Amino acid sequence: MTTQARWLPTLPILDWGRRYNKEALINDLVAALIVTIMLIPQSLAYALLAGLPPEVGLYASVAPLLMYAVLGSSRVLAVGPVAVVSLMTAAAVGEHAAAGTHAYWQVAITLAFLSGGILLVMGLLRLGFLANFLSHPVISGFISASGLLIAASQMKTLMGVTAEGHNFVELVDALVRQLQNVQLLTLSVGLAATAFLFWVRKGLKPLLIKTGLPPRLADVVAKAGPVVAIALTTLLAWKLDWQGQGMKLVGTVPQGMPPLTAPLWDLALWRELLVPALLISVVGFVESVSVGQTLAAKRRQRIEPDQELVALGASNLGAAFSGGFPVTGGFARSVVNFDAGAVTPAAGVYTAAGITLASLFLTPALYYLPQATLAATIIVAVLSLVDFNILKSTWRFSKLDFIAVSTTLLATLLIGVESGLVLGVLVSLALFLLRASRPHIATVGLVPGTEHFRNVLRHEVLVSPTLVCLRVDASMFFANARGIEDRINAEVASHPALEHVLLQCSGVNDIDASALESLEAIASRLKDSGIALHFSEIKGPVMDKLQRTQFLEHLPGRVFLTNYQAIQALTPELTQRP
């Protein structure tokens, strides 16, 4: 393979497509049927969450599935609208147009186009590793806060009132002010739908299994819970004329195939949407890869992050040219796809066909669908994303991680989704630099009767007043060079009889130029004080770098293969004790 060819995306469909057979076809068709049933109400609901007409959710669920089937490396990932990305879309597009207008839809299409372009370029440049800079605490705090924001934003629809706010506090305040205007019929239907969906999610499947239904069929029926809620409330709204009693319905949903659309070619708008598009791209990629890797591991498969960037980029471009908005791999629908037995991305193709048929023939039946039912669907879905246990676990395990997750959560709730995520990333990077600048350096001694060395604060070990052995448990670079230097100076000051300083480098994977300069200064100062600086257990790649410099030639001390050999040479009396 040439260097140029390695930069080109592959076509995973050529791999699994050659081995496609009748058994795989049946499994994929069954999975597609289940996912389609689940995806129709989700797509409608997430489009409304993004501030778009409900049919746009259906449009965003066709072309992206087809594009991912060709380019995606996961066998079961289901691409489409998801809650968090829909919320971020609403926040970004709402700055440029009023929700529900044609201009708003055009900006959403443009946002999908930019997001797709960013993901595609990142994939071609093999920048999948950049997602590693979004730490788990930041992502967890962001998603939990987003879940609360989404649930709060849907309460106005559940209550039948008008309430706006740019953050969680403003939303709650607006809802409280509207309590006297609550539409009781809408609230009753919304709360009943919410309670039913919560029960379906937790209690229906065990109940069906107890009645003798096979587990897999029971799971299929349970997953159809949102469809049952939609069908029942739609029928009642039609029969009982709920619209005449003041309830808001979905109304006319246009029939037809997803339209052929194009982004706005406005460079000024592109510049303003660039940062939101980047954030949506990164968050969507992280969520998608996390789900894909988890499900792939269960079948001893693997996914390629860089290939996923290309696939998700193409999926978002597909959404942009077919009337959609930003999409990514959804957790819930991907898990359902996996559990339903999907074995190849062809299940996504069949799901796209099912969504297309729904767009062509089922949309008239959605006229009487209460908006409160869709709000209930969103609330039940997003509250499962909220995880406050992360606060408790990070507090116990790592206070710095607790700072990262709590900062992200609070900033997202109080400031907004984009600012909260950016602040969370900045805090996470700052805490990383703080950790890096304070490397763990242990004073170690010889465990009696062995050749092993352990921390003097944790074990009974042998030490000598003439030697201090420091084990550096981090690579040496510009951020921690001063910290290492300060620690050595402190040890020298507290050991008046000191003759040798020994750095055990078993945990050092690299030394950069700043750290090398610092080591040279340390060695020189120690030499002037009559103290020799020694090293032990330097790893091969690090030694190769040092040998390309004059550091070892001017080093007043020695470099030992093992720490025990250093102790034998420098303080042999420690090794001779019984």
Q: Which residue in this structure is represented by tokens 């006297």? A: 180
Contact 328, 118 (CB under 8 A): no
Residue 565 pLDDT greater than 90, yes or no: yes
Q: What is the DSSP letter of 460?
A: -
Average pLDDT over residues 540-567: 93
SS3 letters across 313-346: HHHHHHHHCCCCCCCEECHHHHHHHHHCCCCCCH
The alpha-carbon radius of gyration of the chain (Å, integer) is 30
Closest CA to 447 of 436, 438, 458, 439: 458
Residue 217 pLDDT greater than 80, yes or no: no
The answer to which of 203-212, 319-328, 361-370 has the lowest mean pLDDT is 203-212
The answer to which of 330-344, 437-451, 474-488 has the lowest mean pLDDT is 330-344
Identify the burial level of 514 via C-beta atoms within 10 angstroms of its C-beta, where 0-12 means exposed, 13-18 middle and 19 or more buried.
Answer: middle
Bridge pairing between strands 453-455 and 441-446: antiparallel
List all residues 6 or more positions away from 343 whose beta carbon is below 8 Å from its beta carbon: 24, 27, 28, 75, 76
Task: Name 504's bridge partners.
Answer: 471, 536
The rounded distance, in Å, linking the Cα atoms of 202 and 454 is 50
The rounded distance, in Å, linking the Cα atoms of 324 and 260 is 10
Residue 9 pLDDT greater than 80, yes or no: no
Cα–Cα distances in angstroms (integers) from residue 93 to residues 112, 267, 375, 435, 570, in the given order: 11, 15, 20, 37, 69
The rounded distance, in Å, linking the Cα atoms of 89 and 417 is 10
Grade residue 578 by pLDDT with cuts at 50, 70 and 90: low
Contact 409, 127 (CB under 8 A): no
Identify the burial level of 17 via C-beta atoms within 10 angstroms of its C-beta, where 0-12 means exposed, 13-18 middle and 19 or more buried.
Answer: middle
List all residues 6 or more positions away from 510 whose beta carbon is below 8 Å from its beta carbon: 475, 476, 477, 541, 542, 545
User: Which tokens belong to 561?
Assistant: 């293969």
Grade residue 250 by pLDDT with cuts at 50, 70 and 90: confident
pLDDT at residue 2, as a whole number = 42
Average pLDDT over residues 382-410: 89
pLDDT tens, position by position, 398-420: 888 899 999 999 998 998 888 88
Share of the chain above pLDDT 70, in %: 97
pLDDT tens, position by position, 500-541: 999 999 999 999 999 999 999 999 999 999 999 999 999 999
pLDDT tens, position by position, 277-335: 999 998 889 888 888 887 887 777 778 888 999 999 999 999 999 999 999 988 777 87
Grade residue 577 by pLDDT with cuts at 50, 70 and 90: low
Q: What is the pTM of this model?
A: 0.79
pLDDT at residue 313, as a whole number = 95
Residue 511, SS3?
strand
User: Which tokens belong to 338?
Assistant: 């996996």
Residue 102 pLDDT greater than 90, yes or no: yes
pLDDT at residue 288, as a whole number = 86
The rounded distance, in Å, linking the Cα atoms of 70 and 263 is 23
Residue 6 pLDDT greater than 60, yes or no: no
Residue 456 pLDDT greater than 90, yes or no: yes
User: Which tokens belong to 269?
Assistant: 């708008």
Contact 24, 343 (CB under 8 A): yes
List all residues 6 or more positions away from 233 whose beta carbon is below 8 Å from its beta carbon: 189, 193, 369, 370, 372, 373
Q: What is the DSSP letter of 200?
A: I
Residue 202, SS3?
helix
User: Which tokens belong to 470?
Assistant: 């420091």
pLDDT at residue 21, as a whole number = 87
Provide the mean pLDDT of the chain: 88
The rounded distance, in Å, linking the Cα atoms of 130 and 282 is 9
More confident residue, 194 or 341: 194
Domains identified in the chain and CATH numbers: 21-428 (no CATH), 441-575 (3.30.750.24)
Average pLDDT over residues 445-465: 92
Closest CA to 83 of 146, 140, 40: 146
Share of the chain above pLDDT 90, in %: 52
pLDDT at residue 139, as a whole number = 83
Could you please report the per-residue DSSP string of 531-568?
-EEEEE---HHHHHHHHTSSHHHH-SS-EESSHHHHHH
Grade residue 86 by pLDDT with cuts at 50, 70 and 90: very high
